[in-house]
Structures are given as structure tokens and as C-alpha cells.
């Protein structure tokens, strides 16, 4: 050994061994831990906690002379060199377990792609560097210590780093309890963990099975096991149990918030300039993450949802609460339990959030979008009693009556938007049209103020589709044809509550690394609406609880405003609302497919519903949760509307009353059942990329 290394001019070189990945801890606003997760699923163990047969298997297949040679195995290296000189095809290994450990450390320590590539490249220079480091490692540690470190750093596939995590992930047992065929399986996996990952499909599982049998053959060849033992072990099935990874959001007390925070860390450039840097943060671990999660608000949301929707129900209720003026997400909840077990009706994605934060496609938002048309009209100079007259059905005068923001004509005069329980139409003001959630009124209002202007208002308030696609800028935009998520809608409504200040939703306020170094993160806010326009909209929307579509259920005993939203065909039901202190949005729909599985003739929460409106379940969840979340918060009043600017009417006043006086726009609409449940007006089958457009409450 000495003469060989001297001849090659090899001298030991100290290897920097960064600590292995540690857990990341999530704290709520009170500083209490509510989740911990491992980006690398690892649980380091001592060698005496690893079954002897496992140690034998890994040494047999990876480095059978491990206990006899030093840092360099002269026999193995000579054999590889002869192979390399005799016939091309790249440079063969001959790596000892010590060298493999060195390579794993270098890969884990790599700061750049170039360093990662250098750590695994097939070259003589890389091999020589490994040998220098390996010599130092052999001088520093005993063979048992080296094997222990190797088994803890090695990747086995299926997200399992280290022998303990792999043993639990693959076979649901600690490494100390592994039997022969299980040990051979894991020993076989380390050579090509990606190619033999049992989660990757049938072909990968077969490759892992073949590799296991190769290990068993090698163990028999080295006389570590008998022929009978090898034969019996090879007859076993693969036996991969696919045990869920320990830790993670699955075990969090607030799993949906946990998932949101995790995706935020991975995707937001504020937490690292590149995806590699952000990933490295989690890989190195040891982070303590301070979040905006409010335990009181979270419990309020969970309790309210549970009161109206069961975990076993197919439709799912989800809710998000956001603070006006900061964007801090205080709560995120859903009616189903978070997890992978479909038989238990569990859900593995975050329906309260968009796809960038682990969510799904979302649900069409229905008449919650009418708020953006109302705001646009007020911003254009209309007063609270200005309005328009429509019939029971609205048809665009022409294709150019509506233009998207690219200037394309998107009017559809051949298709009608209809009212249902709103009746035959007539004159409606911004106030009565909003309180009654009148479809024809709002589509005509959108025509008056301009579709693109309404779209721009929505975008300024953070509106974007849950699935990440472009907003559909169509005639029925104001009726909520776009799929949304509660976080986005709650943040938009929080903009009204904050008098026109939009704040990007935020879940993380501070990250502290394992050394104690902290980085703080502040709200990202901007004024996007005229303050008095927001006040006027709030004034009108406050009446939803007393004179409009929520009047059957009432308010929450403090200043509040909001809007119901039921889609065409009852495919989804929403309620979005706010106080000066907290905004929230609740959605209800069936994630199997809202159009295939609508909310007609359904049993939810143990109660049968012929039709589910925005006020029916979502509105009541909102009332209950917001009342509890704000129980210990002193009520804050809204800023009164500037009546000099918005009072009365201007060019859009009500026409003179007919012989039999009717609603002139100043009084409240009827609050009987035909008006309370008036937000599913229908739209005459208006096309929206093959799906009916939502309308109503």
C-alpha cells in the first residue's frame, strides 16, 4: 500500500464532511412547532443498530475486501485498470466503500452543478482525488466507523437516505430487524437507486428484484450464505411496502399550511436566487421557519368546516384567512384529512391554494367576481344608485360589445345570459344589483365599463387562475368562469378591506439556519385601488348580510362585507368576505370533477340539499369561522363612504316609476326564498371552452 501510493505521489488530503441533512421545523405565530419535515428522509443510526446480515450484504456486493485493504484496493484497482486498458467503453470502477463514502460527501457538499458533475465524472483525476481523501478518511476512522458513515449517507431510492430510513420506507421495520432477502434488496439498490426506485414503476421494480438476486448470488459465491439460503431468498417477492415518509406535512397538525410553506420555500426567489440554492437550504436542513399561522384562526376554520362538511363527503370545503394590509395567511383548512390513503378519502394536495403551492385546479369562483365589476364601475365614476335596465335574459348587442385586453372581440350575441330567481329583470342599481346578485345586470354593467377594465381590476388585486393558466377574458368573466383558490380570492377581498392596498399572500416571516443566523421577510404591498372606491364597494357589499343573498343567515356581529358565489349548474359554491381585521374565502366543490359531480341532490355533512348555494354551506362556514377567529379582537369600523362623491345617481338614474310602483333602486330587494337563493341564474348554456359558465350568488 505504501509503495503504491508513494509511486503515484498520493498523499492524504483532509476531507470536509458537512453535517448531514437535519430536520426543518415550522413554528406558528405563537412560536409553537406545528410541523417538521425532512427534504432528505434520513435517520442516522449507529452500526450496532444495523443487522449483521445487512452489513454483510453491502460489503459483499460493494467491496468484499473492505476489511482487508486500505484506502485503495490494489486487487480491485488493478482489475479495473486491466479492463480499462483492454477495451474502451469508459473507465471502470474498483471503488472501495471508503471511496464511495468520499464521493457521497463530495456530491452532498457540491455548491454548483460543476462541482456536482466533478464529484461523479468518470475520470482518472477524480479517482485520484477520491484516493487522497480516502487515505485521510482511513487514517481518521476505523473500518466500522467508515461503514457506519457510508450506510447513513447512501441513497437507496424511494426518497430514502440512509439505511434506517430505507429499511422503514421499503419494509416497515428498523435496520436492526432486516432479514437476508431484505438486506440483499437494499444492498442492491445503492448502485443505481434511481434506476431501481420501486416507486418509478414495474420496470424499475423488476430491475431491483434482479439486482437483489445478484447480491444473493455474490453472497453465496463468497460463502457468506448457503445455497439453500440463497435459493429460498431468491424465491421471495420484492416485498416493497411503500411506507409513507415519516415527518413531513402528513404528520403536521396544520398539514395544508405546512404544504403551502414548503412550496413557498422551493418556488419563491425571495428564499434563494436559484432553485438549486433553495433546494440546498432544505437539503442541508436545520432551518427554523417562523410562519404567519394563527392557532386561534386555524382552529376556528377547522371547527367551522367540520360543523358543515364531513371528512367522508366527496365535495370538499376549503378555506383561507388573510390579514388585510399585510397579506399574512392566518389559516388554511379543508374538510378532508391530508394524506395518501384514497380509501379513507384523504387528499394529498392543497385545495385551499394554487398549483404553485401544492394545490389543484381550483373551482370556478362564481359571483364572487362581480366585486371586480362593481369596483371598476365605481372607479369609472358611477354612483351607488346608478344602474341599468335588463330583461330576464341578456344578449350582447354584437361581437365587439366585449373585447379582451388584446383587443379581440369576445362578445357572443347568439348566447343569452339569463336570470333565474332574480325574475324578469328591470332597473337595478349598483347597490340592488349587487345585493340581489343579478346576472343580467352585471354582464350589462361589464359591457358598460369594459371587459378589459374589469380584468385589469381583478389582476391588480392578485387574481390569477389556480391552475396557472391565463385568465379567460370572456363575456361571462364577471360571473366567475375562472377556476380559483381560496388564498387568492381571500387576498383579493382583503384588498377592499385594506382600502385598496393589495398585499401578496405570505406564510413565512423569518428563517433561522442551524447556526442561528436569521433572515426576516416583510409584507409586499401596493396601493392598487382608490381608497374611496374601496370604501364605496365596502358600503354596498356590507348590505349582503342584511338585505342581500346572506340575509337569511345574517352577519357576525361586527362590521363585515362580502359576496356569495354559486356557479351555473351548482358545480361549486363560494363565499368571500372581510372585516377591517381579517378577510376569508370559502370554496365548496367536488375535486373529482365539478361539472361531472355537481352540488344538486347531494348529502353533505349528513344533511340533504336539493341545491347548494353560496350562502348555504360556504356562507355559514365563513360566518362561524370568522366569528370565532375574531372573538378576542376589538371590532374595527369601516371607513364611511364619501356620499358627496358616490351618493345618489348621475347619468344612470332609475327611470320614472310605472303605474304600479316597483323597486326604484333605493330600497332593499325582497328577502323571501326566491331572492335569497337567487344566485344560480343560469346563462343559457353560454360556451366557455366546453364548460358552462357559472353565474349567480
Q: Which pLDDT value is given to residue 266? A: 87
Residues of the chain with CATH 1.10.3810.10: 2-16+45-205
- Is residue 674's pLDDT more than 70? no
- Is residue 427's pLDDT more than 70? yes
The reported pTM is 0.71
- Is residue 693's pLDDT more than 50? no
CA dihedral sign of residues 470, 474, 476, 478: positive
Q: How confident is the model at residue 305 (pLDDT cuts 50, 70, 90)?
A: very high
Lowest mean pLDDT among 63-77, 230-244, 583-597, 674-688: 674-688
Q: Which pLDDT value is given to residue 245? A: 72
The residue among 411 and 126 whose pLDDT is bigger is 411
Average pLDDT over residues 326-340: 95
- Is residue 509's pLDDT more than 80? yes
Bridge partner list, 586: 319, 575
In the chain, the N- to C-terminal Cα span, in Å, equals: 83
Average pLDDT over residues 188-196: 95
Q: Which pLDDT value is given to residue 129? A: 81
Which string of DSSP letters, residue by residue, matches 334-393?
Answer: ESSPBSS-GGGT-B-S-TTS-GGGT----EE-GGGGHHHHHHHHHHTT--TT-EEEE-SE
Q: Which pLDDT value is given to residue 76? A: 57
Q: How confident is the model at residue 670 (pLDDT cuts 50, 70, 90)?
A: very low
Q: Convert the pLDDT of each residue in 87-134 to its tens digit.
A: 433 333 458 999 999 999 988 887 677 777 777 777 777 778 888 899
Lowest mean pLDDT among 59-68, 276-285, 538-547: 276-285
Average pLDDT over residues 343-361: 91
Q: Are 565 and 434 in contact (CB under 8 A)?
A: no
Percentage of the chain exceeding pLDDT 70:
88
Average pLDDT over residues 26-48: 88
Which string of DSSP letters, residue by residue, matches 146-214?
Answer: HHHHHHHH-EEETTEESHHHHHHHHHSS-GGG--HHHHHHHHHHTSSTTTT-GGG-HHHHHHHHHHHHH
Q: Do the bridges between strand 288-291 and strand 24-27 make them parallel or antiparallel, or are there none, so unpaired?
A: parallel
Q: How confident is the model at residue 251 (pLDDT cuts 50, 70, 90)?
A: confident
Query: What CATH number matches the domain at 2-16+45-205, 2.40.50.1020, 3.90.1420.10, 1.10.3810.10, 2.160.10.10?
Result: 1.10.3810.10
Q: Are 605 and 631 in contact (CB under 8 A)?
A: no
Q: Read off the C-alpha cell for 428.
A: 337595478
Average pLDDT over residues 164-178: 97
- Is residue 646's pLDDT more than 70? yes
Domain covering 333-508+521-676 in this structure, CATH number:
3.40.710.10
Average pLDDT over residues 635-662: 85
- Is residue 453's pLDDT more than 60? yes
Average pLDDT over residues 374-382: 98
Amino acid at each position: 500500500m505504501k509503495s503504491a501510493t508513494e509511486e503515484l505521489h498520493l498523499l492524504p488530503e483532509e476531507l470536509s464532511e458537512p453535517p448531514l441533512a437535519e430536520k426543518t421545523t415550522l413554528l406558528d405565530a405563537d412560536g409553537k412547532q406545528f410541523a417538521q419535515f425532512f427534504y432528505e428522509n434520513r435517520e442516522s443510526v449507529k452500526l450496532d443498530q444495523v443487522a449483521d446480515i445487512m452489513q454483510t450484504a453491502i460489503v459483499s456486493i460493494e467491496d468484499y475486501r473492505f476489511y482487508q485493504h486500505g484506502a485503495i484496493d490494489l486487487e480491485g484497482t488493478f482489475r479495473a485498470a486491466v479492463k480499462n486498458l483492454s477495451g474502451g467503453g469508459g473507465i471502470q470502477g474498483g471503488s472501495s466503500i471508503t471511496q464511495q463514502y468520499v464521493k457521497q460527501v463530495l456530491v452532498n457538499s457540491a455548491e454548483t452543478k460543476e462541482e456536482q458533475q466533478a464529484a461523479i465524472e468518470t475520470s482518472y483525476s477524480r479517482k485520484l482525488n477520491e484516493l487522497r481523501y480516502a487515505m485521510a478518511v482511513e487514517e481518521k476512522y476505523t473500518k466500522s466507523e467508515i461503514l457506519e458513515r457510508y450506510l447513513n449517507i447512501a441513497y437507496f431510492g424511494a426518497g430514502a437516505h440512509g439505511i434506517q430510513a430505507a429499511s422503514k420506507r421499503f419494509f416497515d421495520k428498523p435496520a436492526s430487524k432486516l432479514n437476508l432477502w431484505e438486506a440483499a434488496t437494499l444492498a442492491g439498490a445503492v448502485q443505481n437507486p434511481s434506476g431501481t426506485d420501486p416507486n418509478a414503476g414495474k420496470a424499475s421494480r423488476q430491475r431491483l428484484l434482479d439486482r437483489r438476486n445478484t447480491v444473493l448470488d455474490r453472497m453465496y459465491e463468497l460463502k457468506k450464505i448457503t445455497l439453500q439460503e440463497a435459493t429460498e431468498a431468491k424465491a421471495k417477492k420484492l416485498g416493497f411496502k411503500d411506507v409513507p415518509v415519516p415527518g413531513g406535512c402528513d404528520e403536521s397538525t396544520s398539514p395544508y399550511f405546512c404544504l403551502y410553506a414548503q412550496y413557498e420555500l422551493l418556488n419563491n426567489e425571495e428564499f434563494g436566487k436559484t432553485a438549486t440554492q433553495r433546494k440546498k437550504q432544505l437539503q442541508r436542513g436545520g432551518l427554523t421557519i417562523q410562519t404567519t399561522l394563527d392557532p386561534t384562526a386555524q382552529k376556528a376554520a377547522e371547527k367551522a368546516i367540520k360543523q358543515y362538511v364531513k371528512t367522508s363527503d366527496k365535495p370538499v370545503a376549503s378555506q383561507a384567512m388573510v390579514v388585510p394590509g399585510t397579506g399574512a395567511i392566518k389559516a388554511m383548512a379543508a374538510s378532508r384529512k391530508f394524506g395518501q390513503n384514497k380509501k379513507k378519502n384523504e387528499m394529498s394536495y392543497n385545495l385551499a391554494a394554487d398549483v404553485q403551492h401544492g394545490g389543484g385546479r381550483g373551482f370556478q369562483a362564481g359571483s364572487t367576481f362581480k366585486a371586480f365589476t362593481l369596483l371598476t364601475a365605481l372607479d369609472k365614476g358611477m354612483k351607488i344608485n346608478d344602474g341599468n335596465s335588463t330583461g330576464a335574459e341578456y344578449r350582447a348587442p354584437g361581437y365587439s360589445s366585449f373585447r379582451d385586453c388584446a383587443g379581440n372581440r369576445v362578445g357572443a350575441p347568439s348566447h343569452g345570459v339569463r336570470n333565474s330567481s332574480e325574475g324578469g329583470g328591470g332597473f337595478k342599481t349598483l347597490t340592488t344589483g349587487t345585493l340581489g346578485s343579478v346576472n343580467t345586470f352585471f354582464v350589462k354593467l361589464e359591457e358598460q365599463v369594459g371587459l378589459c377594465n374589469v380584468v385589469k381590476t381583478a389582476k391588480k388585486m392578485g387574481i390569477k387562475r389556480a391552475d396557472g393558466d391565463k385568465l379567460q377574458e370572456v363575456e361571462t368573466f364577471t360571473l366567475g368562469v375562472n377556476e380559483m383558490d381560496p388564498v387568492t380570492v381571500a387576498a383579493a377581498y382583503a384588498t377592499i378591506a385594506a382600502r385598496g392596498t393589495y398585499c401578496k399572500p405570505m406564510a413565512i416571516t423569518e428563517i433561522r439556519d442551524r447556526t442561528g443566523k436569521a433572515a426576516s421577510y416583510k409584507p409586499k404591498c401596493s396601493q392598487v385601488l382608490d381608497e374611496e372606491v374601496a370604501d364605496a364597494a365596502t358600503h354596498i357589499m356590507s348590505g349582503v348580510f342584511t338585505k342581500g343573498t346572506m340575509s337569511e343567515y345574517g352577519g357576525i356581529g361586527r362590521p363585515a362585507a362580502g359576496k356569495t358565489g354559486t356557479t351555473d349548474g351548482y358545480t361549486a359554491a363560494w363565499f368571500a368576505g372581510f372585516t377591517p381585521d381579517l378577510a376569508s374565502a370559502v370554496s365548496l366543490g367536488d375535486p373529482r370533477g365539478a361539472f361531472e359531480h355537481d352540488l344538486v341532490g347531494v348529502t353533505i355533512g349528513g344533511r340533504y340539499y336539493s341545491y347548494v348555494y353560496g350562502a348555504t354551506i360556504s356562507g355559514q362556514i365563513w360566518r362561524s369561522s370568522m366569528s370565532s377567529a375574531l372573538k378576542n379582537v376589538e371590532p374595527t369600523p369601516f371607513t364611511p363612504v364619501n356620499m358627496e362623491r358616490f351618493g345618489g345617481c348621475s347619468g344612470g338614474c332609475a327611470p320614472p316609476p310605472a303605474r304600479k310602483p316597483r323597486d326604484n333602486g333605493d330600497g332593499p330587494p325582497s328577502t323571501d326564498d326566491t331572492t335569497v337563493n337567487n344566485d344560480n341564474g343560469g346563462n343559457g348554456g353560454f360556451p366557455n371552452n366546453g364548460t358552462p359558465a357559472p353565474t349567480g350568488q
